[in-house]
Chains A and B, each alone.
Chain A
Amino acid sequence: MNSLQLLPESASTFANEWNWLFWMLVALCGFVATGIAVLLIYWVVRYHRKREDELPVQIHGNIKIEAAWSLIPLMLFMGMFAWGARVYFRMERPPDNARAIYAIGKQWMWKFQYVTGQREINTLHVPVGEPVKIIMTSQDAIHSLFVPAFRIKQDVLPQRYTTIWFQATKPGRYHLFCAEYCGTKHSGMIGWVYAMDAHEFQLWMEQGGAEGSLASTGEKLFHQFGCATCHHFDTQGACPMLRDLYGRPVRLTSGETIIADETYLRNKILNPRAQLIEGFQPIMPTFSGQLTEEQVVALIAYIKAIGPRPGTELPVSPGNAPSNYGSQQGIAGPEATSISGSKPRDR
């Protein structure tokens, strides 16, 4: 049995902010709670009934005191809210240059896929000093990726991608847990995060994946499953062009405009009849049941990796109605993309 540990490991940029907020709250609440306890105990002793028929002075209330102990806590609570919200905002906004790693949670293991092609089960290798973002989905029930030392946690949902990010500050080995109950082996769905300094991480990355990068796997699937017959790169056929699609707003036949993020791409591959883009016919066949989650992730990585051809104005729907799709006035201006690059507005 290990010795008693009372302070949590701190190994990410979030950890310090979290520690400050947490221990300040402990101090503040501890102070107030102690104050109440001391007053209560002291008065209970001091005013102990002296005789059975004693009637003490009858005090009914005091508006000023009521106002004070209503408004002062309220202001303190607003301060706690603001500070907590600030930390949270940072946790929810991965930096643009965060290194993307894909994760699939399933009963009862974590599968990680690196853009360079490595795959790991229940282990995650990350560099120290560099932001890392994990784009994750579940194959079955709801799971939750939790790394206590980094102070991060995010639920992992089926049919959707959620994102979590962190920047490790200390090399070491840290627990990774599933934090959303998911069945029999929920407590076995655990692993390790290995944070390595830049040089060691570089060496580890160079081992590479046997099959090549994630996007190259996606490219092979793209051809193997016949996507290329309809989705051309530089011409608009009966199917939307996929160049520079990721991260752009698209207008649907329902009138809504949504961002083409990982969840959208996944849903289009597996259930193409839903969320039709305006101006296109529902002719795409479904690949539900034919692709594993890992293969879907590879395809998405490939689509993300396809960048715009420099200097090209992208045509839009066959009817040539102006839409946001492909517009240079879209959310992201032109930017260089790379295999492991990221687009803005990852959800």
Chain B
Amino acid sequence: MTDPSALMLREQFGTPEQQRESATFGMWIFLATEVMLFGALFTAFAVYRMKYPLGFDEGSADMNILLGSINTAVLIASSLTMALSIHAVAINKQVRGYLLLLATAALGLVFLTIKFVEYYQHYEQHKAPGISFVSDKPQAAEMQMFYVFYFVMTGFHAIHMTIGVCLVLVLALRTAAGSFRPAYHTPLEAVGLYWHFVDIVWVFLFAIFYISGLHG
């Protein structure tokens, strides 16, 4: 049987190592761009949080901490299944790798579902800026700003999650088709990096949106 790593070697690369290192390096550079993307959002959020501490606390206290915590657990679990799936393929346990990838995608879908449920709850409670926002609290305007950032930032995150779920499903199909071997599974590593990053972003989002209002 032909060695998949040799088949997969693109002509601009001299060796499989060079190709693998370039691919993972490329993913790290991409993650740097994502740090700047979310960093800009976090910075804008921080500016308004400092300006409107009471309103932002009110908004944070409004969040559904139970669903938020479940989502955090779900994503961390999905990072575990992702890492385990790569390990499985690396030791040539193809079926296990395939199943773990499916589990990762499934957990991602659970996250998105819960997120959608939360969005709908906010909409029902008239906390959806631009669509339906009503509040009789003194800091209504500041709370609305909080919610704008909530929807924009978790929305950006959800878009990244959706892309991630699609990528993981594609990889699951390719694993089932036998594309990956211990000697070659670079796309899994690259998407794994991406998945872990999106997970970490969620942890920060959870902190600023859900936890900061807990005391208040």
B139 A274 Cβ-Cβ under 8 A: yes
B141 A274 Cβ-Cβ under 8 A: yes
A274 B53 Cβ-Cβ under 8 A: no
- Cβ–Cβ < 8 Å partners of A202 in chain B: none
Q: Which of B102-152 contact A (CB under 8 A)?
A: 138-142
B53 A273 Cβ-Cβ under 8 A: no
- Judge if A3 is at the interface, Cβ distance under 8 Å: no
- Judge if B9 is at the interface, Cβ distance under 8 Å: no
B138 A282 Cβ-Cβ under 8 A: yes
Instruction: Bin chain A's interface residue count.
Output: under 10
A67 to B54 CA separation, bound complex (whole angstroms):
54
Query: Measured between C-beta atoms, what is the minimum distance from B176 to chain A in Å?
Result: 57
Q: Is the interface of A mostly helix, strand, loop or mixed?
A: loop
A28 to B141 CA separation, bound complex (whole angstroms):
53
Contact with A along B47-86 (1 / 0, CB 8 A): 0000011100000000000000000000000000000000
- Cβ–Cβ < 8 Å partners of B52 in chain A: 274
The residue of chain B having its C-beta at the shortest distance from the C-beta of A282 within the complex is B138
Q: Most chain-B CB neighbours within 10 Å: which of A253, A274, A276, A282?
A: A274
Q: Which of A272-292 contact B (CB under 8 A)?
A: 273-274, 276, 282
The residue of chain B having its C-beta at the shortest distance from the C-beta of A281 within the complex is B138
Query: Measured between C-beta atoms, what is the minimum distance from B142 to chain A in Å?
Result: 7
- Cβ–Cβ < 8 Å partners of B139 in chain A: 273-274
A276 to B142 CA separation, bound complex (whole angstroms):
13
A271 B54 Cβ-Cβ under 8 A: no
The residue of chain A having its C-beta at the shortest distance from the C-beta of B140 within the complex is A273
- Cβ–Cβ < 8 Å partners of B141 in chain A: 271, 274
A154 to B145 CA separation, bound complex (whole angstroms):
28
- Judge if A224 is at the interface, Cβ distance under 8 Å: no
- Cβ–Cβ < 8 Å partners of B140 in chain A: 273
A282 to B141 CA separation, bound complex (whole angstroms):
15
- Cβ–Cβ < 8 Å partners of B53 in chain A: 254
- Cβ–Cβ < 8 Å partners of B138 in chain A: 273, 276, 282
A254 to B139 CA separation, bound complex (whole angstroms):
12
A276 to B53 CA separation, bound complex (whole angstroms):
12
A152 to B11 CA separation, bound complex (whole angstroms):
62
Q: Most chain-A CB neighbours within 10 Å: which of B138, B140, B141?
A: B138
- Cβ–Cβ < 8 Å partners of A253 in chain B: 54
A282 to B142 CA separation, bound complex (whole angstroms):
15
A227 to B163 CA separation, bound complex (whole angstroms):
56
The residue of chain A having its C-beta at the shortest distance from the C-beta of B52 within the complex is A274
Q: Which of B84-99 contact A (CB under 8 A)?
A: none
The residue of chain B having its C-beta at the shortest distance from the C-beta of A271 within the complex is B141
The residue of chain B having its C-beta at the shortest distance from the C-beta of A256 within the complex is B53
- Cβ–Cβ < 8 Å partners of A254 in chain B: 53-54
A273 to B144 CA separation, bound complex (whole angstroms):
14
A6 to B52 CA separation, bound complex (whole angstroms):
50
Contact with A along B137-174 (1 / 0, CB 8 A): 01111100000000000000000000000000000000
Query: Measured between C-beta atoms, what is the minimum distance from A83 to chain B in Å?
Result: 33
A331 to B139 CA separation, bound complex (whole angstroms):
30
A274 to B138 CA separation, bound complex (whole angstroms):
8
Contact with B along A244-282 (1 / 0, CB 8 A): 000000000110000000000000000101101000001
A40 to B139 CA separation, bound complex (whole angstroms):
65
- Cβ–Cβ < 8 Å partners of A274 in chain B: 52, 139, 141-142
A273 to B55 CA separation, bound complex (whole angstroms):
11
The residue of chain A having its C-beta at the shortest distance from the C-beta of B57 within the complex is A254
Q: Which of B16-58 contact A (CB under 8 A)?
A: 52-54
- Cβ–Cβ < 8 Å partners of A282 in chain B: 138
Q: Which of A169-227 contact B (CB under 8 A)?
A: none
Query: Measured between C-beta atoms, what is the minimum distance from B10 to chain A in Å?
Result: 38
A254 to B54 CA separation, bound complex (whole angstroms):
7
A123 to B52 CA separation, bound complex (whole angstroms):
39
Q: Can you pick out 5 interface pairs between chain A and chain B where the beta carbons lie within 8 Å of each other?
A: A254-B53, A254-B54, A273-B138, A273-B139, A276-B138
Q: What 10 additional pairs, Cβ within 8 angstroms, besides A273-B139, A274-B141, A274-B142? A: A253-B54, A254-B53, A254-B54, A271-B141, A273-B138, A273-B140, A274-B52, A274-B139, A276-B138, A282-B138
List residues of A whose CB falls within 8 A of some B CB.
253-254, 271, 273-274, 276, 282
